[in-house]
Amino acid sequence: MIHALFRFVLLMMILSSTSVRSGWAATSIDSADAGPDSLAGPGVRAQDSLWLIGTRHLGSPYSDRCYNQRFQILRYEAAGWESRDFSEFIADRRDTTTFFVHGNRVDRSRAFSRGHEAYRAVVRHGDPAATVRFVIWSWPSDQVCGPRRDILTKAARTDSESYYLASVLSQMPDDSDVGLLGFSFGARIISGALHLIGGGSLSGRKLTSVAEPPHLWLRAVMMAAAMDNDWWLPYGCHHQAPVIAEELLVQFNSRDPALKLYPRIDRRRPQALGYRGIAGLGRLDPQRVQQQNVRCLVGKTHDVSRYFNSPTVMLRARQTLLPPHRPATTSDNDSLALQQQEPGCSPVAAVGAASDLGFPEFDEVE
């Protein structure tokens, strides 16, 4: 009993980003002076723009309300983060817009630095001619008192965040090229947003202002996704996601110590998408949905930095996130990493190769 309790508490502690801070209260509003005055390390490329959209001050959404003017919108300039309005955000056109949605227990201060880390990982070794509008999605994931209460509260919040993200995506100009990168609960938020964009509903809410799905080029990368691995199947919770997205890449880690314990948070004992991979993979369109087991590249951890620092992981993610008409270039380091894959650890799992249980084949989990 004590051993089981310890393992459950371990899940609560690990199912987050590596940094755990008390930070600001989740109900406080994001403000321009909440972020750092400058970015550490390499800044923003001259042709790119860096934005932050904050929802930490918002409660549960209502389907009949417009939240454009209620989002906290900041843009990084030479002098630091400056407030902008929604119309300025929409007017900033680039070759592609990439959203990054962080995981659990990331306070507002950490959201800025974690988002910049994600930006550097995405554009590193990318096409220098491509222009990117990179958007950090800052949601209320500050630590809540009590490990079980913390994780259940954030899991419940993801539906609201999916709605907010979907409402932003639905107002982007037609034919916009959009990449979405999410880690842990951030991946769950992205999946839910795609489901809503496709006409689905979450917690009884739909995008009532959208008569038909917007004409966007949507591609998503799901790193260590903290969501059930059968939600993309017909009649699953997010079944519209693989229909509306042009491409979905699941990067799962069958050695992730946190997601291994994911079944313990629900009586149904679901498996995590970020641990087992996609259930019923053969029932999904192989041209749209692919997966990559990164256990050999990331190791036994639930740390987003390990994903960002792996050339092979980011090469595959970059190929999905960046526009197809501007393919990412392969650096010498990326090529070397691909050549040094451990035996039996293919960078991309064979689409459609599934076991009788509906789970993708992989080596025995520790």
Tell me if 124 sits within 8 A of 205, measured CB to CB. no
Does residue 363 lie within any of the structural domains?
no
Does residue 355 lie within any of the structural domains?
no
What range does the domain containing 70 cover? 2-339
Give which of 316, 324, 321, 319 is closest to 345, Cα–Cα.
316
Model pLDDT for residues 49-95, shown as the tens digit of each residue:
999 999 999 998 987 778 888 999 999 998 899 999 999 999 999 99
Highest mean pLDDT among 42-56, 324-338, 344-358: 42-56
- pLDDT at position 41 is 58
What residue type is 65 in one-letter code? R
What are the backbone angles phi and psi of residue 346, rounded to the nearest 5°?
-65, 140
Does residue 358 lie within any of the structural domains?
no
Nearest-10 crossing angle of helices 147-169, 185-197 = 40
SS3 117: helix
Give which of 229, 221, 215, 224 is closest to 300, Cα–Cα.
224
Q: Poorest-confidence range of 71-80, 196-205, 247-256, 332-341?
A: 332-341
pLDDT of 338 higher than 90: no
SS3 316: helix
Q: Poorest-confidence range of 6-15, 329-338, 355-364?
A: 355-364
Does residue 10 lie within any of the structural domains?
yes
Q: Domain count of the chain?
A: 1
Angle, CA of 24, 106 and 265, to the nearest 5°? 115
Does residue 332 lie within any of the structural domains?
yes
Tell me if 273 sits within 8 A of 231, measured CB to CB. yes
What's the pTM value of the predicted model, to 2 decimals? 0.81
- pLDDT at position 125 is 86
SS3 19: coil
Does residue 258 lie within any of the structural domains?
yes
Does residue 167 lie within any of the structural domains?
yes
What burial letters (b/e) apply to 263-292, b meaning 16+ CB within 10 Å?
bebeeeebbbbbbbbbbbbeebeeebbbbb
SS3 content of the chain, % helix, strand, coil (to 5): 35, 15, 50
Q: Poorest-confidence range of 60-64, 166-170, 177-181, 230-234?
A: 60-64
pLDDT of 348 higher than 60: no
pLDDT of 266 higher than 90: no
* Residue with more model confidence, 202 or 18: 202
